[in-house]
Amino acid sequence: MEMEGGVLGKLRRLDVYPKINEDFYRRTLSGGIITLASSVIMLLLFLSELRHYLHAVTETQLVVDTSRADTLKINFDITFPALQCSIISVDAMDISGLEHLDVKHDLIKQRIDSHGNVIDSRQEDIASHKMEQPLQKHGGRLEHNETYCGSCYGAEMSDDQCCNTCEEVREAYRQKGWGITNPDLIDQCKREGFLEKIKEEEGEGCNIYGFLEVNKVAGNFHFAPGKSFQQANVHVHDLLPFGKDSFNMSHQINRLAFGDYFPGVVNPLDGAKWTQLLPFGMYQYFIKVVPTVYTDINNHTIQSNQFSVTEHFRVAEVGQVQSLPGVFFFYDLSPIKVMSKESYESFLHFLTNVCAIVGGVFTVSGILDSFVYHGQRAIKKKMEIGKFS
C-alpha cells in the first residue's frame, strides 16, 4: 500500500492541471457572455471543419506532358444568325499537312429563323440525290435501261469517273482547284435546285454542332462560306456561285470544348458573341490548349483539355485571297499537363484541426475574460476610493 501510495503521489505531482476548490470560484456576467460567444464560435468552426473533411478536395500539380495521344476531340456548338446553312462549310487542317475539307460527318446543321427558332435539322451526308432523266456524260438524257453516269464538266480524274450529283461535280472541281462560276450551267446543280435552295434560305441563320477528331498537333478549323480547295498551295473558298459581295459572319459560340467535360472545367468561349459591323473580314481565335488529367475520388480518370484564348478581327477586302471571310480557330498545344486529383482529408488531420479550434478559442476566450474581469475590478476599486473620474 505504501508503494502504491508513493507511485500515485508521484503521478499527482505530475498533474499540470491543478484543481481549484469550488468555494474559490467566482462566476460573473461577463464570463457567462464570453463563454456563450466562444461556444458558438467553436461550434461554427467545428461544423466548417467537418464539412471540409466530408467533402473531397482537388489537388493540382503541373508536369511535363509525355503522352503520345494521336487525336484531339473538338466539341462545338456555334450559331450564325445571318448565314444560311447551304453556303457554310467546315474545314480542319494541321501542321502535319492533314486536311479535312468540307467536313460532313459527325456534324448537324439546323436552319434557324431571324428569332433563333429551329426551322429544319439535318445531319450532313454525301448521299446521292435521285434525279429523273438527268443528262448523261455522253450528252443524251438517261433512258430506262441505262445506268446513269453524269458529266464532271472537264474535272474528271479518269475517263470512267462519273459525277451524278451537284455535290460530286463541286467536289471534282475542288480537287482540280477550280471554282464553279454559274451553277445553272451544271445540269446536276440545276436539277437539284442549288441556287433556288440558297435563295429559299435567304434571311435565315444556321446552328452547327458536332465534333471533330484531329491530330494532336497545332492546327486550325474554321467556318466559312463556299466549298474549299487548294489553289497554288493556298487554301481558298469558292464564293462565286453565291453572287454575293459580302457575308455576315456574326456568330455566337454556345459551346467549345477540347475533350470531355470534367468537374471544375471552365471553357472561356462558352456564350461568347460577336456581331460583324464591316461588310468583309475574318474573325480569329488563337487558342492555347492545355492537356488535363482529372482523377475523381473513385480513381476514375478523364483525359481532357483546358484552354486559354485571345481573339482578333482581321479586316479584309473583297477578292483578297489572304483574308477569307469566316470564323477561324487556331489552336496550339501546351507542353505542360495539369494533373487534378480528388482526395479526402485524413482523419488525423481533421482531429488536429478540431483540437486547434477548441484549444485556440478556449485560450483566447480565457485571456479576454481575464482582461475584462481584472479591468472591472480595477475600475471598481478606483470608484470606491473616489479616484475614478
Considering Cα of 173, then 174, then 178, then 184, what sign does the dihedral take?
A: positive
Q: What angle do CA 52, 54, 56 make, to 5 degrees?
A: 75
- Tens of pLDDT, residue by residue over 142-198, are 555 567 777 888 788 887 888 888 878 877 887 777 777 777 778 878 877 777 777
Compute the mean pLDDT over every residue in the chain, rounded to the nearest whole number. 81
Position 305 scores a pLDDT of 94
Distance CA(166)–CA(186), nearest Å, equals 8
Distance CA(192)–CA(194), nearest Å, equals 6
pLDDT band at 338; cut points 50, 70, 90 = very high
Of 323, 325, 324, residue with least CA distance to 83: 325
- Tens of pLDDT, residue by residue over 280-297, are 778 999 999 999 999 988
pLDDT mean over 76-100 = 89
CB 128 within 8 A of CB 169: no
CB 205 within 8 A of CB 80: yes
Position 124 scores a pLDDT of 54
Position 218 scores a pLDDT of 92
Of 223, 209, 312, 327, residue with least CA distance to 257: 209
Task: Tell me which residue has cell 481584472.
Answer: 374
Looking only at the bridges linking them, the beta strands covering 281-295 and 336-343 are parallel
Order of strands across the sheet that contains 118-123: 118-123, 107-112, 205-215, 71-80, 251-258, 272-274
Against a cut of 0.75, is the pTM above it?
A: no
Q: What angle do CA 230, 235, 240 make, to 5 degrees?
A: 80
